[in-house]
Chains A and B, each alone.
Chain A
Amino acid sequence: MYHEKKILVNALNTVFFVGLSLASQHTLAESNMAKMSGNEMQAQGGDAPKNARDPHAYSAGTTLTQGPYAFKGGERLTLADEHRFYALLGDRFEYNEQTDAAVFDLQAWYGTTFNRLVIKSEGDISDGKLEENQTDILWGHAISAYWDAQVGIRSDYAKDGKNRQWLAVGLQGLAPYWFELDMTAYLGEKGYSAFTLEAEYELLLTQKLIVQPRAEITLYGKDDEENELGSGLSSSAIGLRLRYEFTCQFAPYVGVEWKNSYGQTADYARLRGERSNQTEFVTGVKFWF
């Protein structure tokens, strides 16, 4: 039990370390900005100074439903900030030539601007059968202008391995210079732990023709023989996808992906007679609705 706690703490530390380093990069950016102007200022983020204005200071004790002339004859006005919205985003939905497999990477959310149920599901389908799947069910809470903290569970399915369940804690958002990041630390049964980091970027060749570089790394806390995964840096995938946005909600693409496995994971691959690095070509569609 103690051991598990320690791993959880380590996993959390990893997330926070990455988060902090982003934040510090952020701060650095702003201190540069401040230098430019010769003034102390911070245009984004940060903590409210002690003398910051109270946004309710002008209310004289009234609320939307209480006080003089408050509307009584029915429901008070509600606007979209109190509504819930949803989205289903298919970031990758592609066919991989080398492995003759379909890969899906979907995300869905439902909720308000600042609190959402988030479901992420990623997996491979080969010969019409699900080979692997990882599904995260998370509660996402906005912690700053561009970042959501996410906590929840992850469930893995492996056709030829051992299914695992995890607790998940992560950060998803937009880093300075428009890098979309999604990083999550996982704590599983029997002291298993994992960390994944995904980064995406977009380069517009035209308003509709877009190159998307993408990188993903996975680390594990200890060897998982049943799933043939080694501890430490286990695998990475670096991809480039070129898509054409017929609409921003529907964009077919072609791409190439360089996959590497490392350490014990690479050894397991070699034992299976596979290479530890591969170049793969994909065709797919990115969509959301």
Chain B
Amino acid sequence: MRVKESLQPTLMPRRRFVQGLIAGGVLAACPSIIYAASSITTGNAGNVTELSGNVIDLVIGESLVNFTGVVRTATTINGSIPAPTLRLKEGDDVTIRVTNNLKVPSSIHWHGIILPYQMDGVPGISFKGIMPGDTFVYKFKLQQSGTYWYHSHSGFQEMTGMYGALIIEPREQDIISADNEFVIQLSDWTDENPMDVFRKLKVQGDTYNFNQPTVPEFFDDVASSGVANALQRREMWNKMRMNPTDLADLSASTMTFLMNGSTPMANWRGLFKRGEKLRLRFINGSSNSFFDVRIPELKLTVVEADGQNVEPVTVDEFRFGPGETYDVIVEPKNDAYTIFAQSMDRSGYAKGTLSVTTSLDAPVPALDPVEWLTMTDMMGNMSHGNEHGSMSGMSGNAMEKGAMKHGGMAMDHSAMSMDHSMHNMSGNPLAVPSNEVRHAKTEYGASVDMRVDMPRTNLDDPGIGLRNNGRRVLTLADLRSLDGIADHQEPEAEIELHLTGNMERYSWSFDGLEFGKSTPVHMKHNQRLRVILQNDTMMTHPMHLHGMWSDLENDQGEVMVRRHTIPVQPAQRISFLTTPHDVGRWAWHCHLLFHMDAGMFREVVVS
């Protein structure tokens, strides 16, 4: 077996780290129980096993874990959470043999990797899955470099532990230089059976929301802003039966947030030497959680998004959803820092420490307060300026700018078409994405609880809870692919799909049609295509298209950044260009696992 457990000299820095102890001193009380990733990789504590080479063997099985004080069964790859980090080389032909020791079929999907569809690992679409006892051999050539990840695409196995980092070193010298690096994989864990959790949401969509508006809050509002304002602030929400605190379906009331498989108590630690420049490879490998990540007192220079190099942009904080990755460069001056990743609904956080010795810790910030969604999140542009109650918290920032910039366009059809023609110098009617909202006829039924008629198209909104927080927060508008995007070709076709849902019924879909009722989206082989995604819900959906890149553009048709997973904010309309170079059937879905499983999923045919 050519599998190496991070024994290469180049990986030495990683092996030096020895973590002191795991919270509660429960380490290895029973060797078969994973308390945190570090507890099973003895000799390499604090970090996940690393595998490299051209041939990799992975074994899917069950492991006992204890993250919260109770022992549960997890589905794991090579017995660890996260799964081993695969460190591969661009240009290599790799063979990855995956053996399934579970009693149920399983699979592994290589997230963001360009490969033949038969190797993509989506059961029932690209292959039949890996049956119990079977070994499936994945073979593909690595045509890219950067930070990626891999995970099960079967049922809720990803949620119960099957995810790991996939690092592809560039063939040539890496243009990103750093003295040392850490993979920081964020995830979430529930002690409940995920199917039970899902069923509870089916019965009651707000089961895990403990930030609901209350009566005392209403009276506080009355006291501070008067009855009329207090009522007005609630009017639209109540009328429409929408919850302004519906920020996440699953909160810390069932989730424990993990950093590299460690609970906040276990405190994953990365040790650095004074003066070192560090590359942090952040991967959101969670099932259902958006994280807002920052390292207080340390600037983050974002150099890679979804494995693709971007023009460096320095920020204090970034938000990312399941499936997304960001590489950041940091230059620590202090001896210890807290890596703080609060969940979008502010119910909890994952955390770890960067420090020069094992005994040093930095303060842990408090969770930010919960903010209500705004009218902008519900209705896009139309709300601009007419909801002072809920808008007051966000005036004068990027949001406002965005709404102003595009407001006129959405409001006035003649102005809109003029805008269109002015940008249409090339003669291609598709030079600029269409901004005419076209709802599907299936959006008028029981599966859809709202539609947005005047979406916002600005990309410079950090999103709910991050607006005007006093920190410089990364937005999609900040991202520019470094070398430009190879394929400058203008689109030859345009399609529009809407992201839809019904929180009361806990149903999620594209165009109001859940997966089972849908037909595939056909894309012509090698034809440049524009895809418009409009979010007709109040949640942010990280949309992941398998098998091809999603080149995000702005509303003027300027291509910005190459992604594999694009977060689409509430009431937002975005577009991306894609060139499907590889034929076959591909999956396209919201990477919030429960939204995907509820039906926000389309099959794509490239032929």
Instruction: Using CB atoms and an 8 Å cutoff, list the residues of chain A in contact with chain B.
Output: 29, 33, 36-37, 39, 41-48, 51-56, 58-60, 62-64, 67-71, 73-82, 85-87, 89, 113-114, 142-147, 174, 176-178, 203-207, 211, 248-249, 288
Contact = CB atoms under 8 A, between A and B. Distances in A.
Nearest to A141: B446
Nearest to B606: A69
Contact of B502 (A62, A68, A145): A145
B585 A71 contact: yes
Contact of A79 (B213, B378, B379, B515): B515
A219 to B, nearest CB: 27
A106 to B, nearest CB: 14
30 contacts: A33-B236, A37-B382, A37-B454, A43-B451, A51-B438, A53-B440, A55-B512, A58-B495, A59-B519, A62-B519, A64-B603, A68-B607, A71-B126, A71-B127, A71-B128, A73-B127, A76-B125, A77-B123, A78-B124, A79-B514, A79-B515, A79-B516, A81-B515, A81-B517, A81-B599, A82-B515, A114-B446, A143-B446, A177-B241, A207-B211
Interface in B193-223: 198-200, 202-204, 207, 210-216
Interface of B: 117, 122-129, 198-200, 202-204, 207, 210-216, 236, 238-241, 378-379, 382-383, 386, 411, 438-454, 495-497, 502, 504-507, 509-522, 583-585, 596-599, 601, 603, 605-607
B440 A71 contact: no
Given A53-B438, A81-B599, A204 B213 contact: yes
B212 A69 contact: no
B444 A52 contact: yes
A42 B236 CA distance: 13
A77 B125 contact: yes
A208 to B, nearest CB: 8
B518 A64 contact: yes
A71 B449 contact: no
Contacts of B453: 39, 41-43
Nearest to A78: B516
Closest 3 CB pairs of A and B: A77-B124, A81-B514, A59-B519
A176 B240 contact: yes
Nearest to B213: A204
Contacts of B129: 74
Contacts of B202: 85, 87, 113
B518 A55 contact: yes
Nearest to B127: A73
A56 B240 CA distance: 29
A45 B601 contact: no
A77 B607 contact: no
Contacts of B438: 51-53
Interface core residue of B125, B444, B514 (most chain A CB under 10 Å): B444
A177 B519 contact: no
B441 A39 contact: no
A41 B454 contact: yes
Given A77-B124, A144-B445, A207-B212, A55 B440 contact: yes
Contacts of B507: 81, 113
Contact of A43 (B126, B379, B496, B584): B379
B516 A82 contact: yes
Nearest to B510: A55
A39 B454 contact: yes
Contacts of B127: 71, 73
A29 B239 contact: yes
A85 B198 CA distance: 10
A174 B503 CA distance: 12
Contact of B214 (A29, A73, A77, A205): A205
A80 B450 CA distance: 21
Given A46-B444, A146-B504, A63 B516 contact: no
Nearest to B520: A62
A55 B204 contact: no
A41 B522 CA distance: 31
Given A60-B522, A69-B117, A48 B214 contact: no
A146 B439 contact: no
Interface core residue of B124, B204, B239 (most chain A CB under 10 Å): B239
A53 B439 contact: yes
Given A47-B444, A77-B125, 15 more contacts: A58-B519, A69-B117, A69-B585, A71-B128, A74-B128, A75-B124, A77-B124, A81-B517, A113-B514, A146-B449, A176-B238, A204-B215, A205-B214, A207-B212, A248-B207
A249 B200 CA distance: 9
B214 A174 contact: no
A42 B454 CA distance: 11
A37 B513 CA distance: 29
A214 B404 CA distance: 45
B347 to A, nearest CB: 11
Interface core residue of B238, B438, B513, B522 (most chain A CB under 10 Å): B522
A49 to B, nearest CB: 8
Nearest to B514: A81
Contacts of A177: 238-239, 241
B136 to A, nearest CB: 12
A288 B202 CA distance: 12
B519 A44 contact: no
Contacts of A203: 215
A97 B596 CA distance: 49
A46 B207 CA distance: 28
Contacts of A80: 198, 597-599
A74 B596 CA distance: 21
Contacts of B212: 204, 207
A54 B447 CA distance: 16
Contact of B605 (A47, A69, A114, A207): A69
Given A52-B438, A74-B124, A207 B382 contact: no
B522 A59 contact: yes
B440 A52 contact: yes
Nearest to A85: B202
Nearest to A29: B239
Contacts of A63: 519-520
Nearest to A32: B239
Contacts of A176: 238-241
A36 B519 contact: no
B265 to A, nearest CB: 23
Given A79-B516, A146-B241, A114 B447 contact: yes
A248 B117 CA distance: 43
A134 B451 CA distance: 39
B607 A69 contact: yes
A113 B505 contact: yes
Nearest to B585: A69
Given A43-B452, A145-B449, A69 B443 contact: no
Contacts of B517: 81
A62 B585 CA distance: 11
Contacts of A29: 239-240
B357 to A, nearest CB: 41
Given A41-B454, A48-B444, A174 B601 contact: no
B102 to A, nearest CB: 17
A55 B511 contact: yes
Nearest to B379: A43
A58 B511 CA distance: 12
A108 B318 CA distance: 44
Given A69-B584, A174-B504, A79 B520 contact: no
B406 to A, nearest CB: 15
A143 B444 CA distance: 10
B525 to A, nearest CB: 10
Interface core residue of A33, A145, A206 (most chain B CB under 10 Å): A145
Interface core residue of A75, A85, A87 (most chain B CB under 10 Å): A85
B382 A41 contact: yes
A114 to B, nearest CB: 6
Contacts of A56: 518-519
